[in-house]
Amino acid sequence: MGDGTAESRAESSFERIWSLERPDPSLWLYYVFVSFTAGPFFLVPLAFLRLRYRSIRYRFDEEGVSMRWGVMFRREVHLTYARIQDIHLVSNAIERWLGLARIQIQTASGSSKAEMTLEGLPDFEAVRDFLYFRMRGLAEAREGSVASPLARELAAATTELKAIRELIEVRPKGDPS
Amino acid sequence: MIPAFDAWVLRVLRVPPPPQAPAGSSEASRVLKAAPGFFRQRLLVWGWRQAAALAGILFGFAAGNILPKELEMLLGGPIRIVELIALGLFALQLALSFSLVRLDYLWRWYVVTDRSLRIRQGLFKIREQTVSFANIQNVGVRQGPVQRWLGIADLEIRTAGGGQAEGEGTGKKNDFHKAVFRGVADAEGIRDRILHDLRRLRDSGLGDRPDSADGASGELDAARELTSAARALRGALAAQG
C-alpha cells in the first residue's frame, strides 16, 4: 500500500459507509425497468420487487456486513469480512445509466451463486474497496509491522524479567530484606 | 470513423474508465491486456457465425428461385423484399458486431499486484472481479488447439468454494470462485509470478488470520529475547549468592 495519504483518503471515504442502511431510490427505478421485461405480467414482479426494495436493510459493523430483506418471507445474511473470498462488481447498461452496480460477495461455501448481493448502493466502488480492505490477505498487510499478540506478550514478559533483574542488582549484597 | 463509433458505443453503454489497481505496493502493480491472438480467436468465432448467417440468407434466396410458377407469382415479390431487408440488416450488424468484438478485446484488463489481482471485462454486462492472493487455492493454465496455434492461453485462478452448476469446461456459467485471464500471451509467466508472490503468504486458503512470514519471525525474536532476559536474571541471582 505504501502511500499513506491515499490510504487515509480511502479511510475517510469509508466513513459514510458505516451509516449505509437503505438502498438508493434509483434501485426502485431499476426494479421498474426489470419488471417491464416480464411483458404483460409486469405487475407480478413489480409488486414483489417493490416489497424487496422497501425492505432491504444493510448494516456494516466492525466485524462484518449484514443484509436483510423480505416482508412475508424474511431473510437475513451476515458475512464476516475476514471470510470473504471474492468480490465482484457487476453492472449492466441500464444500471450504469442509473448510476448503480451490484456488489456480489462470495465466501467459501458450496454454492456457485453469490452469498450476498449488495444492490442499490450509489457509492459501490467505495463499498467494494471498504470490504476489500477488510478481507483476508489485506487487513494483515494494512496493519503492517504491528506485532502479533503472541509477540507482544513475549515482549511484555521480557520487560518484566529485566525489571526483576534490576531490582535484584540494586539491592546491596547479603541484604535479606 | 471507427474511433468515433467506439466513443459513441462507450458513451451509450456508459462504460466506466479502466479499473484502479487493487491494494498492493504500487510499483509491483502490472496491467495486463489480452494478446492480439485473443482478438484473432474471437474474430474466427465471429467470422464463422457470420458465414453461417450469410449462408442462411443466401439459401433463402435460392429457395425463392425454385418456387413453382403459381407461388412465384404470388409470393415472389414479398420474398424478394424480405430478403433485401435481411441482407441490409446483415450488413448493418456485420459492422456493429465486428466493432463490439474489437471493443470487447480492447476493454479488458487484468491488473496484478503483489498481493491481489483484479479482472475487468465486458461491455454490456461489466464484471470487475477482485481476488486477494491469500484466498487463492490453485492456479492453472488452459490452452486449446486453436489457442496454441494463436500463441495464447487462459490462466485460471480458483478460490475456495464449489457448486459449479453446469457448463463445466465452457466457463459460460457464472462460476464466482474462478478468475480467468482470458487469452493472455504469457500465461506461464504470470502464473509463475503469482505463485512466487503466493509463497510469501505462508498460509493460504481457509482460516482466519494467516501468520505472515514477518509476524512469525517477530514472535521468534521476542521469544529469544525472553530467554536471554531469563538467563540474565538467573545470572544476577547467582551473583547475589
pLDDT averaged per 10 residues in sequence order, chain A, 177 residues: 49 78 92 89 90 93 90 89 88 92 86 83 88 73 59 83 85 61
Range of the domain at B208: 1-34+110-165+172-222
Q: Please give the Cα distance from A161 to B226 (Å, whole number).
A: 8
Residues of A in contact with B135 (CB under 8 A): 85-86, 135-137
> Is residue A173 within 8 Å of B240, Cβ to Cβ?
yes
* β partners of residue B130: A87, B118
Residues of A in contact with B173 (CB under 8 A): 112
Q: Is residue A98 part of a domain?
A: yes
Based on the fold, state whether residues B45 and B103 are members of the same structural domain: yes
Give phi and psi for B199, each to the nearest 5.
Answer: -60, -30
Last residue of a domain, one of B66, B90, B107: B107
Based on the fold, state whether residues B188 and B99 are members of the same structural domain: no
Q: Is the pLDDT assigned to residue B144 strictly greater than 70?
A: yes
Based on the fold, state whether residues B20 and B61 are members of the same structural domain: no
Last residue of a domain, one of B107, B127, B157: B107
Extract the C-alpha cell encoding A102. Answer: 451490484
Q: Is residue A169 part of a domain?
A: no
Q: Is residue A155 part of a domain?
A: no
Last residue of a domain, one of B107, B129, B153: B107
Domain count for chain B: 2
Q: Is residue B235 part of a domain?
A: no
Based on the fold, state whether residues B43 and B30 are members of the same structural domain: no
Range of the domain at A33: 4-143
Q: What is the pLDDT of residue B214?
A: 47
Which CATH number does the domain housing residue A96 bear? 2.30.29
Q: Is residue B241 part of a domain?
A: no
Q: Is residue A153 part of a domain?
A: no
The C-alpha cell 453492472 sits at A91
Q: What is the pLDDT of residue A2?
A: 42
Nearest Cα neighbor of A136 from A106, A159, A100, A160 is A106
Q: What is the pLDDT of residue B174?
A: 61
Instruction: Categorize the per-residue pLDDT at B146 as very low, low, confident or very high, splitting at 50, 70 and 90.
Output: very high
Higher pLDDT, A177 or B228: B228
Domain count for chain A: 1
Q: How many CB pairs under 8 A join A and B?
A: 174
Average pLDDT, integer, range B99-127: 90
Q: Is the pLDDT assigned to residue B220 strictly greater than 70?
A: yes
Based on the fold, state whether residues B100 and B48 are members of the same structural domain: yes
User: Which of B10, B14, B180 is the best residue to mutate to test the A interface, defined by the most A CB atoms within 10 Å of its own CB?
Assistant: B14
Q: What is the DSSP letter of B20?
A: P
Higher pLDDT, B60 or A131: A131
Lowest mean pLDDT among B3-7, B109-113, B152-156: B3-7
Based on the fold, state whether residues B69 and B101 are members of the same structural domain: yes
Based on the fold, state whether residues B82 and B117 are members of the same structural domain: no
Q: What is the pLDDT of residue B142?
A: 92
Based on the fold, state whether residues B54 and B141 are members of the same structural domain: no
Based on the fold, state whether residues B184 and B215 are members of the same structural domain: yes
The C-alpha cell 487515509 sits at A8
Rg (CA), chain B: 29
The per-residue pLDDT of chain B, averaged, comes to 82
Question: How confident is the model over B177-194, as pLDDT tens digits?
Answer: 888 999 999 899 999 988
Determine, for residues B15 and A96 on separate chains, whether the beta-carbon distance falls below 8 Å: yes
Q: Is residue B240 part of a domain?
A: no
Based on the fold, state whether residues B195 and B78 are members of the same structural domain: no
Based on the fold, state whether residues B41 and B146 are members of the same structural domain: no
Give pTM, 2 decimals.
0.73
Q: Is the pLDDT assigned to residue B169 strictly greater than 50?
A: no
Q: Is residue A130 part of a domain?
A: yes
